[in-house]
Amino acid sequence: MKNEMKGGLGLLLILGIILSSGLAMAMNAQYTKVPTVQQLDRIELFAELGQPMSFELGDEMYTLTLVGANSYTMEIFVAVGDDVRVLSEGETKIIGGVAVYAEDIFISTIGEGFVAAELTVTELNPNRR
């Protein structure tokens, strides 16, 4: 019984380390979620203000940048290539030839301020391939 408890505690410790390292990666915001085979027409991104993110959808390369925010209206300004649009949380707009959905928006005006958003980008014509 004691050995089973030690094994279970060790497993919990390993899971805790994995989860905390995953959270640290999410806080770093320098990653993109790799789409599964079934999701090649869509990608999920965690974007921070002023950090361009390049990705491929279908046969096209795109660069998305969170270029600004309005803390009063809780809106973000998203650029895909040279096309810039304003998005609110829960809203989808076509920007630079792709559909961009703002799932979560975080805007902080405390200290230096911080702007980030969880975005889902979808290819407009996934069946053309």
Over range 13-32, report the average pLDDT. Answer: 40
State the total domains in the chain.
2
* Helix or strand holding residue 53 (H, E): strand 53-57
My answer on whether 20 and 39 are in the same domain is no
61 and 108 together in one domain: yes
Pair 98, 124 in one domain: yes
In the chain, pLDDT over 90 holds for what percent of residues? 57
Say whether both 54 and 11 belong to one domain: no
16 and 51 both lie in a single domain: no
Residues 94 and 42 in one domain: yes
* Tokens 């999701």, residue located: 39
- Is the domain of 44 the same as that of 21? no
- Tell me the pLDDT band of 30, cut-offs 50, 70 and 90: very low
Domain that holds residue 47: 32-128
Please report the pLDDT score of residue 33 as a whole number: 46
> Same domain, yes or no, for 70 and 105?
yes
Tell whether 55 and 109 lie within a shared domain.
Answer: yes
> What pLDDT score was predicted for residue 125?
74
Tell me how far apart the terminal alpha carbons of the chain are, to the nearest angstrom. Answer: 57
67 and 42 within one domain: yes
In terms of domains, do 103 and 53 share one?
Answer: yes
Q: Does residue 74 sit in the same domain as residue 16?
A: no
Please give the model's pTM, rounded to 2 decimal places: 0.67
**Residues 6 or more apart whose Cβ sits within 8 Å of residue 39:** none
Tell me how far apart the alpha carbons of residues 114 and 106 are, in angstroms, rounded to a whole number.
Answer: 8
DSSP string for the chain: -HHHHHHHHHHHHHHHHHHHHHHHHHHHT--BPPPPGGGTTEEEEEEEBT--EEEEETTEEEEEEEEEEETTTTEEEEEETTEEEEEETT-EEEETTEEEEEEEEEEE-STT-EEEEEEEEEES-GGG-
Q: Would you say residue 19 has pLDDT above 70?
A: no
